[in-house]
Amino acid sequence: MPKISVDDYNTIVKMAKMPKRVNVQPDNVKGFLDSSFVVSDSVLGQICAALNSGNHIILSGPPGTGKTTIAQAVAMAARGVEPIMTTATADWTTFDTVGGYMPDLASSSPNALTFETGIILQSMIDRRWIIVDEINRAPIDKAIGQLFTVLSGGDVLLPFRNIKTCNRLKVVSDNFFSSEDVFSRSDDWRMIATMNEYDKNALFDLSYAFMRRFAIIRIGLPDKYDEVVVNWATEAKVDASIISNLQEITASYMASREIGPAIFKSIIAYITERTKMGTDYGLYYAESLAIYLVPQLQGIDEEAVHEITTVVKKCFSGNYDAEKFFADNVYAITGYRVA
Amino acid sequence: MSNNINQALRETLRPEGLEHLEALNNLFGYEPPSDGGEECYWIALAKLGSDNSTIISSKYEGIKIGDIVLLFDSETKTCSGSSKVNSVSKVNDQIMIVLTKEVSFDTPISFETIKINSIISNDCKKIIADLEGSINA
């Protein structure tokens, strides 16, 4: 009788005892989010209801609103098992998602092949949820292939055979465990995708056929957004003039383009670290904005750029290096010179 | 005295296996402790006896009371739960293990499931493949 590790034992038991239907509640999700993370109860309610009612979901929204963090927390709250994380890419094909034949390294024959599962099919086999970041970076109709039918609860025969048994491989929607020839998509398996809404026109379009299989939930900016940013900055002991400037930026910037609190959290964290290295606070502030905020200005109009830069410059108070650094970066990204 | 022996068993002799414990039994008339030690986890491929709780194994590998066994039925190659070792005794060259069901699975797990599941470690997959090979041979 061979001995196995405690981890393997626990994994097997956990797999076997996974619930067969999804029942995730907002309060459970909050348990997997950092206490400083801000998301409205309404959004969590929408996500949980959509998942519990059998949908896969796409979380769409401006950058920095925590779409991926929310997706991970929801998956953990629902399953208690780490989800599979992946990022869609422009060269995704069914080989990446469903699978394909690969050399069989375990075989003594040099020409032997074996079917290797793709990442989405593997997540079904493992009964782990999958989070696909930036779904619109992939040509999704081509990449998902035969799994389209499976996403909506159907069974599908794959264009592959198990080399050992010669049986045609298939994916079925039931609650049994997968075997070597039959892969099961259980009722409680879900795909959560994220999509940055500012990219959606520049990348691949999602077909209506694909979107029909998902609930699309927008993760907007949290309530009392500027207060949240000020609280973070105050807690981090950021200089008072910078805090008040950040507050002004959130107000003026949001009129042109929404960006999530994570961007400001990064700015605050950067300033905290940078001020440990010296005292040129104006320059450090300019650096933090150039690194995190300015890249988000891409594509907004000249008037909006001037409005934001006018607010920002107030904080530099004649610091030539800071002003120049900021202006050069704005020009590089937007093509507009800061007056 | 009993506590000292207990301690000694836990610290030194337990990993050595049942034969040592039996030798101690003979010496002191002492029953190995059934709790307080670290439990081990085992995978078995066997058919339960007619009492539905006993398996016979031909090897001594240090299994002890309180250990946990995932028993795969040798006909269906599926496991419907995990069991606790209730007693271990030697019968001729074989060892008789009496199990009590601890955890019941809603959906039985098969060998194949473990082999293709990426959450399971490669060591465990190899153990499963070896066990499977032993019944197919």
CB of A119 within 8 Å of a chain B CB? The answer is no
Which ipTM score applies to this complex?
0.74
Between chain A and chain B, the number of residue pairs with CB atoms below 8 A apart is 94
| Residues in a beta bridge with B82 | B70, B103
Q: Which of A160, A199, A202 is nearest to A181 (CA)?
A: A160
CB of B57 within 8 Å of a chain A CB? The answer is yes
Q: Which residues, 6+ apart, have CB-to-CB distance to B119 below 8 Å?
A: A11, A15, A81, A126, A128
- Please give the pLDDT value at position B42: 93
- Please give the pLDDT value at position A118: 94
A128 vs B contacts (CB less than 8 Å)? 119
Query: What residue of B is the nearest CA neighbor of A176?
Result: B107
Query: What residue of A is the nearest CA neighbor of B55?
Result: A1
Regarding beta strands A156-161 and A168-172, do their DSSP bridges make them parallel or antiparallel, or are they unpaired?
antiparallel
CB hemisphere CA count around A293 (13 angstroms):
28
- Please give the pLDDT value at position B19: 61
Closest-CA distance of chain B to residue A116, Å = 10
Instruction: Answer whether B43 sits within 8 Å of A13, measured CB to CB.
Output: no
pLDDT band at A203; cut points 50, 70, 90: low
CB of A85 within 8 Å of a chain B CB? The answer is no
Contact B49, B56 (CB under 8 A): yes
Helix A261-274 / helix A281-288 crossing angle, nearest 10 deg: 150
Cα A295–A296–A300 angle (5° rounding)?
Answer: 110
SS (H, E, C) A22-62: CCCCHHHHHCCCCCCCCCCHHHHHHHHHHHHCCCEEEEEEC
Structure tokens at A229: 């940013």
Cα distance between residue B30 and residue B47, in whole Å: 31
- Please give the pLDDT value at position B1: 44
pLDDT tens profile B67-82: 999 999 988 889 999 9
CB of B112 within 8 Å of a chain A CB? The answer is yes
Structure tokens at A245: 């400037």
Instruction: Answer whether A177 sits within 8 Å of B110, measured CB to CB.
Output: yes
* Residue type at position A160: F
pLDDT tens profile A1-39: 889 999 999 999 988 887 778 999 999 999 999 888 888
Cα distance between residue A236 and residue A87, in whole Å: 32
For residue A155, the Cα-to-chain-centroid distance in whole angstroms is 28
Q: pTM for the full model?
A: 0.76
- Please give the pLDDT value at position A95: 93
Average confidence score pLDDT of chain A:
87
Cα distance between residue B122 and residue A274, in whole Å: 45
Cα distance between residue A117 and residue A114, in whole Å: 10
Contact A330, A336 (CB under 8 A): yes
Name the percent of chain A lying above pLDDT 70.
Answer: 97
Q: How far is CA A284 from CA A304, B5, B17, B44, in A?
A: 23, 67, 65, 63
CB of B129 within 8 Å of a chain A CB? The answer is no
Closest-CA distance of chain A to residue B1, Å = 32
Contact A7, B121 (CB under 8 A): yes
Nearest to B107 among A7, A11, A175 (CB): A175
- Please give the pLDDT value at position B8: 60
User: Would you put residue B39 in left (φ > 0), alpha (ψ -120 to 50) or beta?
Assistant: beta
Regarding beta strands A84-87 and A130-133, do their DSSP bridges make them parallel or antiparallel, or are they unpaired?
parallel
Q: Quick check: B120 pLDDT over 80?
A: yes
| Residues in a beta bridge with A58 | A193, A216
Nearest to A180 among B59, B61, B112 (CB): B112
